[in-house]
Amino acid sequence: MAEGVVLLGPSGGEPVAHRTRGALEEIPRPATFTLRQTGNPANGLTFSATVNLPSSYLSPTPSPDELVIRGRGRRSLPLEWSPIPIESPVKRMEKTPLKRSPGKGMIVLRSSPRKRLQLSDTPPKELLESRRMMMQMSPIVKKCRSLTVSPVQSPPEVAIKGLTQHQLVDVLNSVLERHPELKDEISDILPQPDLKQMEEKLNQQKKCIFKALPVSRLASKTDSPAYNKASPHLSNFKKTVQEQCTQLAEAEQWASLIDYTLIAWSYVRATPQWDASHHNNTRRFCFKTLAQYCLQGLKEVKWNRDQLENLLKKLEQCRSDHDEVEHCIEHVQTVLSNMQ
């Protein structure tokens, strides 16, 4: 019976590769694989194999350093949970709260081990009472001496300068209610409305319109882009004309209303005429408004013949601007014909 010994590597036939070992790792030994031939050659050969492994594979002997490490044992976690690091033996002795399992309806934030306020937690009664006491406490206010001296009132002719138009009307109405016999005297004292301030406001609005127009000689001042720039100022001019006419009509100052319509007519005529016809709607609206209020004033006022003839000449100059002036001219002509 022939017997042969074959040395193989641990991987089963490949040569043993050189590799580095750790500090506590044992040097590996090659395993031996033995084949033995048994049996009769006539009946057939049989082989039996035995593997001889080194003792370090079956029961490796640990090194002294490894024995020391094993003697220390695994790090045991404390029974009480604490956010303080375990490496500190002094802090480990301190008492820490027990880690409880969350109950139903509680939200647990696992992002960090820090204890967080739960939604179901309620502040203690002492904390609530201290908050109520803090809210009831009033801030420290510096005591001021009470003013025993009453403020000095200015005379009425001076204090009336700080009142608005509506306040002046209310004061005058209250005086007339207490003293009705003063109505005739006050009506004789009341002056005519000051049209200079109204004219100044119209002049200011007209200047704003022309300032908005382009300055360049190459650009047109009556086209659509120019109208778009002056459109906000045209709206303000239109609003001013309507408000001033309404103010005089509500005050029943008919003579002043007619004079204002003739003054405002010249300012409306001075506004630019645009290339597009629909851009002139503001201009036509102002002319129509002034003509209607002028006719309303003509029906209420009573003038002599000279005043009506002078007014007729002024109205005829406005005939080319708007057709609504024809009603005013016809009314004045009718009044003059009835005087004869």
- In angstroms, the Cα distances linking 159 to 44, 165, 168, 246 are 142, 13, 11, 28
pLDDT at 160 over 50: yes
Q: What is the mean pLDDT of the chain?
A: 76
Rounded to 5 degrees, φ, ψ at 37 are -90, 125
As given in the structure block, the two tokens for residue 295 are 């006719």
More confident residue, 122 or 323: 323
Rounded to 5 degrees, φ, ψ at 9 are -80, 175
Confidence of residue 264 (pLDDT cuts 50, 70, 90): very high
CA atoms of 299 and 263, how far apart (whole Å):
19
Beta-bridge partner residues of 47: 37
Under a CB-based contact definition with an 8 Å cutoff, are residues 332 and 312 in contact?
yes
pLDDT, average across residues 46-51: 61
Under a CB-based contact definition with an 8 Å cutoff, are residues 33 and 6 in contact?
yes
Closest CA to 261 of 232, 235, 226, 296: 296
CA atoms of 98 and 80, how far apart (whole Å):
5
Q: What percent of the chain has pLDDT over 90?
A: 36
More confident residue, 271 or 67: 271
More confident residue, 219 or 41: 219
Query: Strand, helix or coil at 35?
Result: strand
Q: How many CB atoms are located within 10 Å of the residue 25 CB?
A: 11
More confident residue, 173 or 102: 173
List, for residues 113-149, the tens digit of each pLDDT value: 455 545 455 556 777 777 777 766 655 555 555 545 4
β-sheet with 46-52: strand ranges across: 3-7, 32-38, 46-52
What pLDDT, on a 0 to 100 scale, did the predictor assign at position 65? Answer: 83
CA atoms of 27 and 10, how far apart (whole Å):
13
Dihedral sign (CA 246, 252, 253, 259) = positive
Confidence of residue 235 (pLDDT cuts 50, 70, 90): very high
Q: For the domain bounded by 194-339, which CATH number is listed? A: 1.20.58.1590
As given in the structure block, the two tokens for residue 208 are 């704003």
What pLDDT, on a 0 to 100 scale, did the predictor assign at position 162? Answer: 86
Q: What percent of the chain has pLDDT over 70?
A: 61
Closest CA to 8 of 26, 34, 28: 34
For the chain, give every domain's residue range: 157-186, 194-339
Range of weakest confidence among 86-90, 280-284, 312-316: 86-90
Confidence of residue 231 (pLDDT cuts 50, 70, 90): very high
pLDDT at 55 over 50: yes
The structure's pTM equals 0.53
Strand ranges, E, within 153-218: none
Using N-to-C axis directions, what is the helix angle for 254-269 and 281-300, rounded to 10°? 160
Closest CA to 9 of 25, 36, 23, 30: 30
What pLDDT, on a 0 to 100 scale, did the predictor assign at position 1? Answer: 43
What pLDDT, on a 0 to 100 scale, did the predictor assign at position 30? Answer: 60
pLDDT, average across residues 49-62: 61
